Structure 1
Amino acid sequence: MRLTKNSLLRILHYLLPLGILLICIFLRWQDVPFVDQMRLSVFDTYQRIAPRQYEDVGVRIIDIDEKSLEELGQWPWPRTRLAGLVYRLRSAGARVVGFDVVFAEPDRTSPARVVKDWPKGTESDEITALADKLPDHDKLFAQFIQGTGQVVTAIQLSNKKLETPPRQIGNFSTSGEAGRKLSDFIAVLPGAAKNLDIIENAASGNALVNVSPEQDGVVRRVPLLAALDYDLPVIGMPVYPTLSMEMLRVLQDAPKTMNVRMSGASGSSRWTRSEGIEAIRVGAITIPTDHAGYMWVHFTGREKQRYISALDVLNDTLPPESLRDTIVLIGTSAAGLLDLRSTPLDRVLPGVEVHAEMLEQMLLGHFLTRPYWAAETESFVLLLIGLFFVLAVPRLGAVWPAVIGGTLAFGAAGFSWWAYDAKLLLIDPVYPLVSLLAVYLATSSIGFVRTEGERRQVRSAFGNYLSPALVNQLSRHPEQLKLGGETRDMTLMFCDVRGFTSISEGFKSNPQGLTRLINRLLTPLTKCILDREGTIDKYMGDCIMAFWNAPLDVENHAHHACDSALAMREALDHLNAERLGEAKRDNEKFLPLNIGIGINCGDCLVGNMGSDQRFDYSVLGDAVNLASRLEGQSKNYGVDIVLGEDVAKRVENDFATLELDLIAVKGKSEAVHIFALLGGAKLCQTEEFRNCQILHKSMLDAYRTQQWDKAEELLDQCRQASRGVGALAALYDMYSDRIVTFRETPPPVEWDGVFIATSK
């Protein structure tokens, strides 16, 4: 079956937005970078509007700051100084000490290493021997770490290969996800920067300090565990905890094995097919994560209360009890040491503070989470509302779906904010809304194209038949055009040229001249109709068929038709005057053009009529046939405009009308009263017309009651009274002839005055 342009647009009105919707859902599940970045930007905005309120739970950062470096010298410091720092912290009451520093190289300030760089001389051997007897700084540092206890050292997983893996102290067991390894879900890196073995072996914990920024360089979530691509004989790939989580384990003196709860584990509430990690249990604390073991950081922004200068600790200038029962992280805020990060709240933040804020959240049980069902819910909402747009916009138009969609959009945005602010849940409202906007714009754009196409089609179909005002109205509101047919109360007009056969004979040798003459006649007559909100149904040679009150409503359509008929009479007079002048100028024979018009009202079926191959917007009904018969009777009654009874009743107070006859037209057994239209309101209000109307009615009454003498007397009076009203002489001559005939052959006694027409 051949598809038309409209059919194709109608199909595309559904398929294109549906395709865009499916693409948007596909991109959402593929988590392409721009989709992920869009979502993260929303979550950043939430944090900036409502950051986590700082609560002091004893987490402190011992800051190797610019002041400490200026006073004590550049980094790295001697390990003896760091040993003294650890000793002072533990002595002051710090419960756990964690390093955000990797001690991968031996301390160059150890005596045995220092003397190797001295110039060789006579005393160098003696000095070297004495230096070898002095304590090694790394060994001394390890002794302090082991002796004070509760110290966690750092490792940094990287892409650099290494010969031996870092020491694994805190480790993991899993529950759920039978048959799947932890390394299937978490980050796996091939190498690491590790501490010296002597330092590592002395620590109570060994943990990751990896802080993984997103693709835009902003830290929002941190992996709580990661694997090293180094298969150990018994356990396979070693998995290491992050610094904050390892410190939490040491703080609680919890078992070294932490439990990773996977989807499908006992007690899991997961109801979707999403796989991965749900939470990690460390001692008595459970930390929710995303599927890859990342923890969302709910930042407070930089708080001075967290920070204590390392210089103040080493110089013993801190207030008493200031470190009692604290958990301290040793790190740096110095720009030159390059441990600076960007967060949603701070463009530059020391990396150690990220670990501090994570530790605070763990101790507070304050967890910002993106629930496992978020992706499914967002996609479901996108699919549901998207399908609503796909199905509703073609049917309801663009406005109401936009109102409903806008309401749902505000609702989704409000729910997302409430979930964050009240429940610490991260629900993305933006990508579904942007996707829905794309779907809406697609379907509304096609709707606009379809509407414009319909308007062009309406203009094309009706531009030559309707007035410009009606065409514009119909193009703006094509839904008012009920294609396929409807029943309406309408006024019909037929207009035909009298004696056209005789006129056309004069153009036998000049058919182009006849065409120009017809066009010259039909153009002003058509304008008279279109200017009065009429619709041209068709041209049939020298005949015009027109109607009113379709395809759009026309108030007082019978009045418009009568007004058009009078205007057509006047336009014809002007045309004949022009042609007469042209005939005299060219010394040609002049044949005036005369028209007959029939106008009738009634219920008709109007719409697209025809076949599958060709159809026209036209009208059918008994009222149409009668209008055609009335036009044909105009020549018999000697008038140029004949009205049906219903038309005459509707316009009798505004137009000058006279009843012509009670006639049964050819093809109809039922008789109807027919009327002549003589003029407009001006003539209707004259005393002359009213007298003529009264005499005319009396004449008809006498005629129909077979009072022939009285009727003939009244006919003479009517001729006198009608001289200033209209050309009615032929009408009254017709009645005189009928009376003569009836005197010779009287009609039946029960005759009611009906004249039976024998011609159209």
Structure 2
Amino acid sequence: MLTDSLLTRPVNAIDQEILLLILSGLLVIFGMPLVGARWTLLLVATIVGGVLWYGWYQFSANRILMDTTAPALSALIVFMVGTYASYAAEAAQRRQIRNTFAFYLSPAMVDRLASNPDQLRLGGETREMTLLFSDVRGFTTISEMFDAQGLTAFMNRYLTPMTDIALAKGAYIDKYIGDAIMAFWNAPLDDADHVRHACETVLDMRTALIDLNAELKAEAEAKGTRFIPINIGIGLNTGPCVVGNMGSNQKFNYSTLGDTVNLASRLEGQSKPYHVDNIIGEATAAQAAEFAYLEVDLLQVKGKTVPVRIYTLVGDAQLKGTAAFQKLAAAHERLLAAYRGQEWDAAEALIAECRDLSKDLSCYSLYQTYEERIAEFRDSPLPADWDGVYIATSK
């Protein structure tokens, strides 16, 4: 007043301040998603600093009084609300992931997925996976021994250790179908060793089943009841699959589709006629070179027109390195050559040799299949140009 340097305030100052408030808030709202989390704080600091500088410049240079505190506060409030909303959304996403996958993956896998939600790519994608199907043999006979509650308790007792083994090897439990288990590897999380983990699961399931049957037998003897051992068949197959959320708008499930899945299911069914506890596909065997396995047959499964070469997993790398297994593998290879060459007498002699070498192995009963086939082919001779393909008559 003494120097006649009076402040002025425009007639539409309030309108300008409201406009500035709205613009600063909108800049924060639309700018945060564009710049990303790393640069959000810098963006907000720039907007707030710019608003306050504008007010100071009008005061110092033009002696115009503008209230820029409200626009600056609006930018800060929008930033805090947006930050909280983002945090809440991320926390909700983590809870959703945990709730969705807690019963399908091991706790460690769920923690990895919750920590890195970007690894979960839902909605359908194609990737190479290994599929496992397992089924209890003679389940109808076993179920006749129990009432509804007893059968449920019995199945839970079987499914729990089998599931624990698969989860420990990084599998995703897709579903239970009665006494059957469907699981897969390399989704939703990447697993570069999915074939090895699947093969280890098969071997561990075999060991766990031996222990479980021993417990059940001891309990049956103590109670004076009938004991029926649990025998299972397993199918493994590796190949490209479509995986993602499958279903409808009302209900969906994270699952997988494709020819690889269908073949894995067919291979599980073929473990019974071949008298082995597992059948693995050619692609699986090709990536499981460290394991002990044997070729079983060149098979045309039901529903397919192209034959597939199938194998059975016998043991781990330690077994494969033994002289006894290497001797069995050599004899088994000669057996297949004689069998496919329709040299029945030589094949039968090799069957006896392979049985002697495989007395304590899971493939021992496999040679019963070749014996039955040879008897069948002797009665109904094959054409001279037979290509060695056996056409399955059942799933």
TM-score, normalised to structure 2's length? 0.90
Identify which of 71, 77, 81 aligns with 1:442. 81
Counterpart Cα distance in 2 of 1:669 and 1:489: 23
Counterpart Cα distance in 2 of 1:534 and 1:404: 43
What are the Cα deviations for residues 463-499 of structure 1, in whole angstroms up to 9, with x where unaligned?
A: 1111111111222233332222211211111111011
Counterpart Cα distance in 1 of 2:78 and 2:93: 22
Alignment match, 1:485? 124
Counterpart Cα distance in 2 of 1:382 and 1:454: 29
Q: Per-residue deviation at 1:443?
A: 2.1
Matching residue's letter, 2:175: K
Q: Per-residue deviation at 1:566?
A: 1.2
The answer to whether structure 1 residue 290 and structure 2 residue 5 are counterparts is no
What are the Cα deviations for residues 435-468 of structure 1, in whole angstroms up to 9, with x where unaligned?
A: 2222122122222222222222222221111111
Identify which of 351, 355, 376 aligns with 1:715. 351
Distance 1:557 1:425, change over 3 A: farther
Matching residue's letter, 1:633: Q
Which deviates more from structure 2 when the two are superposed, residues 681-690 or residues 475-484?
475-484
Does the 8 Å CA contact 1:537/1:617 hold for their aligned counterparts?
yes
The answer to whether structure 1 residue 385 and structure 2 residue 385 are counterparts is no
Q: Per-residue deviation at 1:530?
A: 0.8
Distance 1:425 1:532, change over 3 A: farther
Q: Per-residue deviation at 1:244?
A: 4.4
What are the Cα deviations for residues 312-344 of structure 1, in whole angstroms up to 9, with x where unaligned?
A: xxxxxxxxxxxxxxxxxxxxxxxxxxxxxxxxx
Q: Per-residue deviation at 1:375?
A: 3.8
Distance 1:596 1:372, change over 3 A: closer
What are the Cα deviations for residues 521-561 of structure 1, in whole angstroms up to 9, with x where unaligned?
A: 00111100111111111111111111111111122111111
Does the 8 Å CA contact 2:24/2:47 hold for their aligned counterparts?
no
Identify which of 267, 275, 278 aligns with 1:630. 267
Counterpart Cα distance in 2 of 1:756 and 1:531: 37
Counterpart Cα distance in 2 of 1:690 and 1:531: 30
Identify which of 347, 351, 364 aligns with 1:729. 364
Does the 8 Å CA contact 1:389/1:443 hold for their aligned counterparts?
no
Matching residue's letter, 1:485: G
The answer to whether structure 1 residue 598 and structure 2 residue 235 are counterparts is yes
Alignment match, 2:138? 499
Matching residue's letter, 2:201: S
Does the 8 Å CA contact 1:658/1:676 hold for their aligned counterparts?
yes
Q: Per-residue deviation at 1:607?
A: 1.3
Alignment match, 1:549? 186
Counterpart Cα distance in 2 of 1:463 and 1:678: 32
Distance 1:379 1:406, change over 3 A: closer
Identify which of 374, 387, 390 aligns with 1:752. 387
What are the Cα deviations for residues 385-425 of structure 1, in whole angstroms up to 9, with x where unaligned?
A: 223257559xx5xx235245256348638955995899578
Q: Per-residue deviation at 1:711?
A: 2.3
What are the Cα deviations for residues 9-45 of structure 1, in whole angstroms up to 9, with x where unaligned?
A: xxxxxxxxxxxxxxxxxxxxxxxxxxxxxxxxxxxxx
Counterpart Cα distance in 2 of 1:692 and 1:607: 42
The structure where helix makes up a greater share of residues is 2
Matching residue's letter, 2:99: S
The answer to whether structure 1 residue 400 and structure 2 residue 118 are counterparts is no
The answer to whether structure 1 residue 454 and structure 2 residue 93 are counterparts is yes
Counterpart Cα distance in 2 of 1:573 and 1:555: 30
Matching residue's letter, 2:376: T
Does the 8 Å CA contact 2:236/2:279 hold for their aligned counterparts?
yes
Q: Per-residue deviation at 1:651?
A: 0.8
Alignment match, 2:102? 463
Counterpart Cα distance in 2 of 1:477 and 1:697: 47
Does the 8 Å CA contact 2:25/2:74 hold for their aligned counterparts?
no
Counterpart Cα distance in 1 of 2:149 and 2:91: 38
What SS does the corresponding residue of 1:636 show, helix, strand or coil?
coil
Counterpart Cα distance in 2 of 1:390 and 1:505: 64
Task: Give the aligned CA root-mean-square deviation in angstroms.
Answer: 2.8
Please, which runs of 5 or more residues in structure 2 have no aligned partner? none
What SS does the corresponding residue of 2:160 show, helix, strand or coil?
helix
Does the 8 Å CA contact 1:548/1:561 hold for their aligned counterparts?
yes
Counterpart Cα distance in 2 of 1:633 and 1:645: 14
Does the 8 Å CA contact 1:389/1:440 hold for their aligned counterparts?
no
Work out which of the two has the higher radius of gyration on C-alpha atoms and give 1 or 2: 1
What are the Cα deviations for residues 249-304 of structure 1, in whole angstroms up to 9, with x where unaligned?
A: xxxxxxxxxxxxxxxxxxxxxxxxxxxxxxxxxxxxxx6742269xxxxxxxxxxx
Counterpart Cα distance in 1 of 2:341 and 2:56: 92
**Pairing of 1:143-154 with structure 2 (within 5 A):** none
Distance 1:568 1:727, change over 3 A: closer
What are the Cα deviations for residues 667-687 of structure 1, in whole angstroms up to 9, with x where unaligned?
A: 111111111111112112212
Matching residue's letter, 1:743: R
TM-score, normalised to structure 1's length? 0.48
Counting matched residue pairs gives 393
Matching residue's letter, 2:75: L
**Pairing of 1:562-711 with structure 2 (within 5 A):** 562-653=199-290, 655-711=291-347
Counterpart Cα distance in 2 of 1:404 and 1:671: 63
Counterpart Cα distance in 2 of 1:425 and 1:740: 110
- Spell out structure 1 runs of 4+ moving beyond 3 A: 242-245, 371-381, 389-393, 413-434
Identity of aligned residues (%): 46
Counterpart Cα distance in 2 of 1:553 and 1:609: 20
Matching residue's letter, 1:688: A
Does the 8 Å CA contact 1:579/1:590 hold for their aligned counterparts?
yes
Alignment match, 1:146? none
What SS does the corresponding residue of 1:635 show, helix, strand or coil?
coil
**Pairing of 1:279-428 with structure 2 (within 5 A):** 289-291=7-9, 375=17, 378-379=20-21, 381-389=23-31, 392=34, 396=36, 399-400=37-38, 402-406=40-44, 408-409=46-47, 412=50, 419=57
Counterpart Cα distance in 1 of 2:62 and 2:320: 84
What are the Cα deviations for residues 232-258 of structure 1, in whole angstroms up to 9, with x where unaligned?
A: xxxxxxxxxx5544xxxxxxxxxxxxx
Q: Per-residue deviation at 1:635?
A: 1.0
**Pairing of 1:43-122 with structure 2 (within 5 A):** none
Alignment match, 2:374? 739
Distance 1:488 1:429, change over 3 A: farther
Distance 1:425 1:415, change over 3 A: farther
Does the 8 Å CA contact 1:497/1:596 hold for their aligned counterparts?
yes
Matching residue's letter, 1:400: R
Counterpart Cα distance in 1 of 2:10 and 2:299: 95
Matching residue's letter, 2:301: V
Does the 8 Å CA contact 1:389/1:439 hold for their aligned counterparts?
no
What SS does the corresponding residue of 2:303 show, helix, strand or coil?
coil
